[in-house]
Amino acid sequence: MNSSPSASSTTAHRDLFDQSALSDLAQRLVEAAKRAGADAADAVAVRGVSQGVEVRDGRVEESERSEGDDVGLRVLVGQRQAVVSTNDVSGDAVTKLAERAVAMARVAPDDKYVGLADPALLARDFPDLDLLDPDVPATSELERRALAAEAAALGVKGVTKSGGASASAGIGGMVLVTSTGFHGSYLRSSQGISATAISGEGTGMERDYDFTSAPHAADLLSPEVVGRSAGERTVARSNPRKVETCKVPVVFDPRVAGSLVGHVVGAINGASIARKTSFLKDKLGQQLFEKNIRIIDDPLRKRGLRSQTFDAEGVAVKKTALIDEGVLTTWLLDCATARELGLATTGHAHRGVSSSPSPGPYNLHLEPGTPSPAELISDIKQGFYVTDLIGSGVNGVTGDYSRGASGFWIENGEITYPVSEVTIAGHLFEIFKSMQPANNLEFRYGINAPTVRIEGLTLGGR
């Protein structure tokens, strides 16, 4: 049963949803910067509120809440730029902050690529993406969710102890004001439930987890489903075996398949392209995958974990096929990297209060294929099904790929016994060329992918 917020907490939540004071503050910062001598300026005000509960063995182990508003000011004097931030805006702090920023900019080195976005590119439409759940759960409701998830994990036969469970909720938002006349804001809620289970004893212990997260509580998996999944995943890993070093097809579970999309997107980040530190730096417009592969970035997806209607420079955002019919179509660009590369921004600027903009993605997904996961592995005589990846052994400059992994052995088209302590290695060009997605795409994470099969990776075993 969900807890109802009290009248006083409802008022507090209403205050939380009201960004007018933040908007006013950002506007005053920009005006103060102009008075202090800035040629151009923009200000971001960021709101962050979070509460979380952690439980173990049926008892609350930790309950915490944090709340704060932070502001950042970026000023430009000629081709020089400075960024300052604070969470103290009492008294004459706005004026002092602006004067300090302008003084810093005057002694900064020239950078011919800095500047605000072209006003013609600024967002003018702000569609409702349904990112805010107005029912903020009480701490008692978070406790209930965490305890229910843990109980479900412990109820799975073979689970010997709890690794803990947690539930969280938060609200994050941003206001952006620029001296070119842009004024935009958004708020999004976030809620999550996670559970970890342990099986076995001593050196034979195995551990696994599951979680769910979404802006709206209605889109979360139930605590019972999360806990049961964590328990079942853990028990399935019991008594893992080692395997000999070999070269086999490797199938990525959806939980880890998104990492392959992440490697593509990391390599097409405009900052890496401008620095020439990406193995894809010369591959724009080229066929990297089979024709059935599409990788989509969709900032406008309703109720998406990373959805928003404008980027951190106020530029309008849009749904984009980064890989279309296997072809690399674009870099991810903010204004500065676009200028450096002689291109136009793609509306992918992100920033915090203490940093200048830099490019990054929104909601990413690999479009599904036609075979089911079972069909994808049915002709594999010997292979490896990955459920967990360890470490970050991927070289973005060369494209060399090597990750620690655990999962299950595939034999004659069937998933059989658990396998641990192996490495999978290859090159991202070869991985991209042989990628085959299944038909089981679900939108659960910031990066989503179905089950994916890759041919001929080297499995490093005993």
Query: What's the pLDDT tens digit per position in 241-287?
Result: 999 999 999 999 999 999 999 999 999 999 999 999 999 999 999 99
Please list the residues that pair with 191 across neighbouring strands. Answer: 169, 214
pLDDT at 11: 42
For residues 340-361, give the mean pLDDT.
95
Q: Which residue has the tokens 């602006």?
A: 98
User: CA–CA separation, 444 vs 451, rounded Å?
Assistant: 14
User: Does the pLDDT of residue 125 top 60, yes or no?
Assistant: yes
- DSSP state letters, 214-283: ESSGGGSPPHHHHHHHHHHHHHHTSS-B----EEEEEEE-HHHHHHHHHHHHHHTBHHHHHHT--TTTT-
Shared domain for 78 and 187, answered yes or no, is yes
Residue 5 lies in a domain: no
Domain boundary among 223, 256, 291: 223
Residues 137 and 192 in one domain: yes
- What band does 8 get if pLDDT is binned at 50, 70 and 90? very low
Do both 300 and 194 map to the same domain?
no
* pLDDT value, residue 19: 86
Report the side by side order of strands in the sheet with 327-328.
327-328, 320-324, 295-297, 364-366, 447-448
Q: How far is CA 138 from CA 9, 62, 149, 226, in A?
A: 9, 15, 17, 20
What single-letter DSSP state applies at residue 441? -
Residue 167 has pLDDT above 60, yes or no: yes
Residue 11 lies in a domain: no
Give the burial class of 369: count Cβ atoms within 10 A of its Cβ; 0-12 exposed, 13-18 middle, 19 or more buried: buried
Indicate the residue among 223, 256, 280 that finishes a domain. 223
What pLDDT score does 89 carry? Answer: 72
**Per residue in 74-121, pLDDT tens?**
999 999 999 999 887 776 788 999 999 999 999 999 999 999 999 999
The reply to whether 275 falls in a domain is yes
Asked if the structure places residue 59 within a domain, the reply is: yes
The structural domain count of the chain equals 2
Instruction: State the CB neighbour count (10 A cutoff) for residue 173.
Output: 22
Residue 214 lies in a domain: yes
Is 3 among the domain residues?
Answer: no
User: Is residue 229 one of the residues assigned to a domain?
Assistant: no
Do 214 and 276 fall into the same domain? no
Q: Provide the Cα torsion 246, 250, 263, 462; round to 10°.
A: -30
Is the predicted pLDDT of residue 10 greater than 80, yes or no?
no
| Pair 286, 336 in one domain | yes
Which whole number is the average pLDDT over 175-196?
96
Q: What is the pLDDT of residue 13?
A: 58
Cβ pair 22, 47 in contact under 8 A:
yes
**What tokens were used for 236?**
């399935």
Q: Look at residue 1 and tell me whether its pLDDT is greater than 60.
A: no
| CATH classification at residue 212 | 3.30.2290.10
Instruction: Please give the Cα distance from 354 to 85 (Å, whole number).
Output: 5
Give the pLDDT of residue 68: 86
Same domain membership, residue 368 and residue 246: yes
Q: What is the pLDDT of residues 402-456, one digit of tens each?
A: 999 999 999 999 999 999 989 999 999 999 999 999 999 999 999 999 999 999 8
By C-alpha distance, which of 245, 239, 247 is closest to 462? 245
Q: Do 258 and 180 fall into the same domain? A: no
- Answer yes or no: do 214 and 297 share one domain: no
* pTM assigned to the model: 0.92
Mean pLDDT value of segment 13-33: 86
Instruction: Judge whether residue 3 has pLDDT over 60.
Output: no
281 in the same domain as 186: no
For residue 14, pLDDT beyond 80: no
Mark whether 391 and 447 lie in a shared domain.
Answer: yes
Instruction: List the domain range (segments joined by +) for residue 84.
Output: 20-223
In a domain, 228, yes or no: no
Checking if the pLDDT of 5 tops 60, the result is: no
Rounded CA separation 192/206 (Å): 24
Whether 219 and 293 map to the same domain: the answer is no
Task: Give yes or no: residues 67 and 209 share one domain.
Answer: yes
What one-letter code names the amino acid at 84? V
Strand partners, 171: 49, 189
Average pLDDT over the chain reads 93
pLDDT band at 337 (very low <50, low <70, confident <90, very high): very high
| Cβ-Cβ contacts under 8 Å for 147 (sequence gap 6 or more) | 55, 58, 165
- Beta-carbon contacts of 269 under 8 Å, excluding residues fewer than 6 positions away, are 278, 331, 332, 359, 360
CA–CA gap between residue 18 and residue 13 (Å, rounded):
9
Q: Could you tell me the CA-to-CA distances from 324 to 219, 297, 330 in Å, in that order?
A: 29, 11, 10
